Amino acid sequence: MLTLKTIREEKEKVVERLKIKNFDASELIDQIIELDDKRREYQVKKDGLQKEMNDISKEIGKLFAQGKREEAEQAKQKTGQIKEQVKEFEIIFSESEKELNDLLVQLPNIPHESVKPGKGEDDNEVVKEGGQIPELTHNKPHWDLIKDYNIIDFELGTKITGAGFPVYMGKGAKLQRALINFFLDEAEKAGYNEVLPPLVVNEDSGFGTGQLPDKEGQMYHVTADNFYLIPTAEVPVTNLYRDVILNEKDFPVKNMAYSACFRREAGSWGAHVRGLNRLHKFDKVEIVQIRKPEDSYAALEEMKNHVENLLVKLKLPYRILRLCGGDISFTSALTFDFEVFSAAQERWLEVSSVSNFEDFQTNRLKLRYRPENEKKTRLAHSLNGSALALPRIMAAILENYQTDKGIVVPEVLRPFTGFDIID
């Protein structure tokens, strides 16, 4: 959520930059400023009445002490009348504040200066490519390979739950676990502290990281308890710091978490969403950082390098994209997507997004820090990234490492799997 200070002091800049996200904010910002002016006016009136009531209350004691009981009783009646007025203003103020927040959450985050205009994913900018696209002599898509080697069963998952909930079997389950352990170990080497968070969150947590109300329809809702199944570990891990004031010595805050993730939107049937390409339930290792504003873009570069290093070690062909205004998320200021090339499908598969949200999430979370030798607190910056999401990594490994003798396990995963090939 953008701060009122930013909206009021940099109105023209906010309107112009949000055009990069194809969002016309001019009318909404005018409504926000007008409502904020009224809210401030109510606050001044309420504070004035409160002061008047406090002054009269002090005078009442003096009147009683002087034996002026009748005047004291009249003053008490007046304080009662003022108290009722204060209550009325408190209701009006509360209603205007709710109305203001309802408008504020409709504004997307301001994109970073490097974000270019665009309508969608076709306008994203490729900033780097790496790895070698394999030339396959044995060429099958992963949805056929998993049946050949009996390592993932979609039909069983459909029977147990529904479409988009696969069951990993035998060496498929071990390869999945190997990837999780590899990702966690690499993040630990990079200084991340491991967290094992809940898989369901409350409404405040969903609001804090921007999933609510923006992505409410994409999450599974446990209606009886008003809980939500997490779409990513970003939500519970970032919310560890909701309503927290950090000190300078606490930085950098670097956490990682493995979790199952649940997303209702899985798309329609077709090659682009077939098999592991898009699921309702999948596993992911997430990295989250909380930083001082002046350090957050250096942290984003560090996170980007970390994800790239994972793909280099897995020896998967990859590319890094800077998302354009039309494809970047509602909450992000700058996002880099990572894609791996699936040789059997002959297409790029997204496997990670690494984003800097600046103070957009932390304003919602009321996540602040106190600079050394200062009394006033400031909003911190939050960042997160997939390191990595497993389904499409698994799909790329199965397809890119297939041979006529079986599926070769990437070398870095063999200490975790205990086998070199799926045959």
CATH class of 4-104: mainly alpha
Would you write out the chain's pLDDT as a tens digit for each of its 423 residues? 999 999 999 999 999 999 999 999 999 999 999 999 999 998 898 889 888 888 888 888 787 778 888 887 788 888 888 888 888 888 988 999 999 999 999 999 999 999 999 999 999 999 999 999 999 999 999 999 999 999 999 999 999 999 999 999 999 999 999 999 999 999 999 999 999 999 999 999 999 999 998 777 889 999 999 999 999 999 999 999 999 999 999 999 999 999 999 998 755 445 567 899 999 999 999 999 999 999 999 999 999 999 999 999 999 999 999 999 999 999 999 999 999 999 999 999 999 999 999 999 999 999 999 999 999 999 999 999 999 999 999 999 999 999 999 999 999 999 999 999 999
Q: Which of 321, 338, 328 is nearest to 358 (CA)?
A: 328
Q: Can you give the pTM of this predicted structure?
A: 0.93
CA nearest 172: which of 350, 417, 380, 360?
Answer: 417
Query: What pLDDT is attached to residue 271?
Result: 53
pLDDT score, position 46: 86
CA angle 87, 93, 96 (to 5 degrees): 145
Q: Cα 345 to chain center, whole Å?
A: 30
pLDDT of 150: 98
Residue 122 identity (one-letter amino acid): D
The amino acid occupying position 307 is V
Output the pLDDT for position 267. Answer: 52
The C-alpha atoms of residue 209 and residue 234 are separated, in whole angstroms, by 8
Residue bearing tokens 């998302």: 323
pLDDT at 149: 98
C-beta separation of 125 from 322 below 8 A: yes
What per-residue confidence (pLDDT) applies to 57? 82
Q: What are the boundaries of each domain within the chain?
A: 4-104, 121-422
CA distances 156 to 151, 163, 173, Å, are 12, 10, 14
The answer to whether residues 302 and 254 touch, using CB atoms and an 8 Å cutoff, is no
Answer left, alpha or beta for residue 306, where phi above 0 means left and psi between -120 and 50 means alpha: alpha
CATH superfamily assigned to domain 121-422: Bira Bifunctional Protein; Domain 2 (3.30.930.10)
CA 154 to chain centroid, in Å, comes to 29
- Three-state DSSP string of the chain: CCCHHHHHHCHHHHHHHHHHHCCCCHHHHHHHHHHHHHHHHHHHHHHHHHHHHHHHHHHHHHHHHCCCHHHHHHHHHHHHHHHHHHHHHHHHHHHHHHHHHHHHCCCCCCCCCCCCCCCCHHHCEEEEEECCCCCCCCCCCHHHHHHHCCCEEHHHHHHHCCCCCCEECHHHHHHHHHHHHHHHHHHHHCCCEEECCCCEECHHHHHHCCCCCCCHHHCCEECCCCEEECCCCHHHHHHHHCCCEEEHHHCCEEEEEEEEEECCCCCCCCHHHCHHHCCCEEEEEEEEEEECHHHHHHHHHHHHHHHHHHHHHHCCCEEEEECCCCCCCCCCCEEEEEEEEECCCCEEEEEEEEEECCCHHHHHHCCEEECCCCCCCEECEEEEEEEEEHHHHHHHHHHHCEECCEEECCHHHHHHHCCCEEC
Q: pLDDT value at position 269?
A: 47
